[in-house]
Amino acid sequence: MLIILAAIILFHFTSAILLFIATIRNVWWVSNNSYLDLWYHCNTTDCYDIPKSATYEAAYLQIVQASMILATILCCVGFFIFILQLFRLKQGERFVFTAIIQLLSAFCVMIAASIYTAEHLSFKGDDFKNGEYGYAFVVAWVAFPMTLLSGLMYLVLRKRK
């Protein structure tokens, strides 16, 4: 049981680290030595605010920002609730509350990455017309199944001796 518990904790930490990387790093879109993330547009020397990021045309970006931040927070809160439930639950009970929070985190990551995928190609910036998705975007998509599996593992996990 101790090995299973250690594996689940490691899996949860890995999910949290991937969410932090995907939220913080500035490589969601790469084009011509320029990088675009959720907050900044960077070239090889400087970073600037994303043009028209506060307008109706780029409202999707604010949704993606909020969803990624919420997913990261929920993943961290889910771990702390798991630790509390580990010592508070009676033997034989399931970690349902932790599972729900982790599944909500997976849902937020899926929303953020899906909206970014659907809406980013309509971005009309000259520097970013032609380009490709960066590694932080890929990490966000990898974090989705990891948080989903983590939530499902908590749902199945029972407290045993």
- Is the separation of the CB atoms in 110 and 116 below 8 Å? no
- Is the separation of the CB atoms in 102 and 153 below 8 Å? no
CA separation for the pair 143, 110 (Å, rounded)? 9
| Cα–Cα nearest to 150, from 2, 16, 23 | 16
- Is the separation of the CB atoms in 60 and 119 below 8 Å? yes
pLDDT in tens, the chain (161 residues): 678 888 888 989 999 999 999 998 878 888 877 787 788 888 878 888 777 777 777 788 889 999 999 999 999 999 999 999 888 888 777 888 999 999 999 999 999 999 988 877 665 555 556 778 888 999 999 999 999 999 998 888 876 65
CA separation for the pair 56, 46 (Å, rounded)? 26
pTM (2 decimals)?
0.86
Structural domains of the chain in order of their starting residue, each with its CATH number? 2-156 (1.20.140.150)
